[in-house]
């Protein structure tokens, strides 16, 4: 079932959402300070391509203050428009009955788009 959902997701929304993350990542790589943001954007691009069967989990350790500052900077630079894109895609997907699980996944990913620092993509099994 996950494979079928991933294929439908890829066709309807995943490719375009992943492209938005890749664009954000490339823009972040322009400066040295933005490299960690770009790396996280590329991780989220892979997650946006094929989300079912995977989830975002908090990373253990790390500095809470740096993570908070990183999330604030990410939100200002790219997070708000990618989250808005996820919300728009989620609403469009929820119009049909078949698209409701995909829309819910897009809404969950909007939260990840707002504060991705300190999270990693893990397989759910």
54-105 per-position pLDDT tens digit: 888 887 766 678 888 888 888 988 889 999 999 999 999 999 898 898 999 9
**Model confidence pLDDT, tens digit, residues 23-38:** 999 998 998 888 888 9
pTM of the model: 0.85
Q: Write out the DSSP string of 47-68.
A: HHHS-TTEEEEEPSSS-HHHHH
**Two tokens at 89?**
């895609």
Determine the straight-line distance between the first and last CA of the chain, rounded to whole angstroms: 13
Question: Which residue in 112, 125, 99 sits closest to 43, CA to CA?
Answer: 112
């Amino acid at each position: 079932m996950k494979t079928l959902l991933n294929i439908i997701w890829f066709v309807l929304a995943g490719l375009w959402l992943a492209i938005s993350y890749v664009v954000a990542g490339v823009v972040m790589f322009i400066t040295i300070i933005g490299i960690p943001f770009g790396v996280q954007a590329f991780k989220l691009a892979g997650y946006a391509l094929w989300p079912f069967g995977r989830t975002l989990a908090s990373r253990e350790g790390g500095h809470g203050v740096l993570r908070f500052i990183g999330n604030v900077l990410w939100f200002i630079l790219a997070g708000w428009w990618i989250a808005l894109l996820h919300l728009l895609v989620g609403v469009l997907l929820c119009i049909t009955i078949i698209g409701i699980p995909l829309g819910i996944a897009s809404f969950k990913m909007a939260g990840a788009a707002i504060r991705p620092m300190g999270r990693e993509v893990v397989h759910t099994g």
